[in-house]
Amino acid sequence: LFAFDNATSHATFSPDALIANRMNLSPAGKQKKMRKTSYFCERQKYEQDIVFPSDYHILKLCGEAKRLREVIMERELWPEED
């Protein structure tokens, strides 16, 4: 006899985990602040903040969560506009 528990509730994440479907694409709406993340590009590890720094040049964004677009643009993965 085998018993399997495939409940999706077992795949829980920390409230500040970087999960794309919890992020806004643009600055509209509320978004939780997520923790710093890291990624690899050509065997090089990069750290990435998901919150704008306190000395950011746009004052109203200081300390606010970055939107998905900013995160992707920082990684140079956002398609170039024509």
**Where are the chain's structural domains?**
14-74
The CA-CA-CA angle for residues 47, 25, 10, to 5°, reads 70
Sign of dihedral through CA atoms 38, 63, 28, 60? negative
Q: Does position 39 have pLDDT exceeding 90, yes or no?
A: no
Asked whether the predicted pLDDT for residue 45 surpasses 80, the reply is yes
The confidence score (pLDDT) of residue 5 equals 66
In the predicted structure, residue 4 carries a pLDDT above the cut 90: no
Query: What pLDDT is stored for residue 56 in this prediction?
Result: 92
pLDDT of res. 10 = 60
64: burial class by Cβ within 10 Å (0-12, 13-18, 19+)?
A: middle
39: enclosing H helix or E strand: strand 37-41
Round the average pLDDT of the chain to a whole number and report it: 80
What is the mean predicted confidence (pLDDT) over 60-80?
86
